[in-house]
């Protein structure tokens, strides 16, 4: 399964009408030391090489083409958009950075602004994107992460007819669907399918995060118990030597029980040329040779 491409939206246009973004808020320089990371971290993993490359580009142009976006938190600021830019200018020794400073932004809207920008990044892996969306659902519904996960599992059980739905479940699902629609083309059904991410073996999850394998490949390889075989399959998928079809064929082979060999006990009667066979023991190599020799005398 390829990563779903979300609808491209302006992150500052996704806030609810209850929140007011003052038009008078202009770009201003703020001290980097006064910027804190959001409680719900929007970047679970990132490439140091990408940060270094961005720093090199900024150094070459001697400017930041796009300001970061922060919100006021007392006398300081909380980052909303611009993690990579902040890290890059830190490497260059900058003390201040251009920023759009927003005020009167609720936690829910701040989270949505962060997600609407970051989950659309081409380099954001499926795991980070999924966790980010679930964290936003948690903020919107006042649930912690595990409660959101439990809710999605509940929806999955309803969809599979394991349990019956009810009015309360339908109302919760409608709320979650309304939230995902704000983020673009992603559905509750796709989120439910992504729950498989949380049962992946660490080595498989790492390969997924780094883009070495797809989500579909990760789910299929996760069905293999042999760790050495798992690593071998990941490497093969990465270099294009193993397809999803190939993985499934291997799994099918594992499910097929080897044909049981009939255990034979034999008795030779050379005088009348009779051979009596009965199912009992597997013939050993020397017994097979004796049997072949006897058959040649018949």
For the chain, what are the domain ranges? Answer: 20-105, 126-196, 203-255, 264-296
DSSP 41: -
Q: Which helix (H) or strand (E) holds 192?
A: helix 188-194
pLDDT in tens, 83-128: 989 999 999 999 999 999 998 888 878 877 887 777 667 667 889 8
User: What confidence tier does 16 reach under pLDDT thresholds 50, 70, 90?
Assistant: very low
For residue 109, how far is the Cα from the chain centroid?
Answer: 24
Interacting residues of 168 by C-beta distance below 8 A, sequence separation 6+: none
Take residue 12 and report the two structure tokens written for it: 């500052």
State the Rg of the chain over Cα.
30
By C-alpha distance, which of 67, 49, 14, 6 is closest to 190? 6
Q: Which fold has domain 20-105?
A: 3.90.1530
User: How far is it, in rounded angstroms, from Cα 184 to Cα 151?
Assistant: 21
pTM over 0.85: no
215 within 8 A of 194, measured Cβ to Cβ: yes
């Amino acid at each position: 399964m390829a990563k779903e491409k979300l609808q491209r939206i302006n992150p500052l246009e996704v806030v609810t009408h209850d929140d007011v973004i003052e038009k008078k808020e202009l770009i201003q320089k703020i001290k980097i030391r006064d910027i804190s990371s959001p409680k719900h971290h929007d970047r679970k993993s990132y490439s140091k090489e990408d940060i270094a490359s961005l720093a090199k580009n900024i150094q070459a142009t001697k400017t930041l083409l796009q300001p970061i976006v922060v919100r006021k938190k007392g006398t300081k600021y909380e980052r909303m958009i611009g993690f990579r830019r902040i890290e890059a200018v830190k490497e260059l020794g900058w003390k201040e950075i251009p920023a759009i400073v927003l005020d009167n932004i609720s936690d829910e809207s701040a989270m949505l602004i962060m997600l609407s920008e970051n989950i659309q990044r081409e380099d954001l892996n499926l795991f980070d994107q999924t966790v980010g969306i679930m964290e936003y659902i948690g903020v919107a519904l006042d649930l912690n992460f595990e409660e959101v996960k439990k809710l999605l599992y509940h929806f999955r059980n309803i969809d599979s007819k394991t349990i019956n739905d009810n009015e309360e479940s339908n109302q919760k699902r409608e709320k979650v669907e309304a939230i995902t629609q704000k983020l673009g083309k992603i559905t509750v059904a796709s989120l439910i399918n992504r729950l498989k991410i949380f049962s992946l073996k660490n080595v498989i999850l790492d390969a997924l995060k780094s883009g070495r394998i797809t989500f579909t490949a990760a789910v299929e390889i996760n069905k293999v118990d042999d760790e050495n075989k798992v690593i071998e399959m990941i490497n093969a998928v990465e270099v294009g030597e193993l397809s999803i079809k190939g993985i499934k064929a291997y799994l099918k082979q594992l499910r097929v029980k080897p044909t049981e060999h009939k255990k034979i006990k034999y008795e030779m009667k050379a005088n009348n040329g009779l051979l009596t066979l009965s199912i009992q023991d597997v013939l050993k190599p020397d017994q097979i040779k004796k049997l072949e020799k006897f058959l040649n005398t018949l």
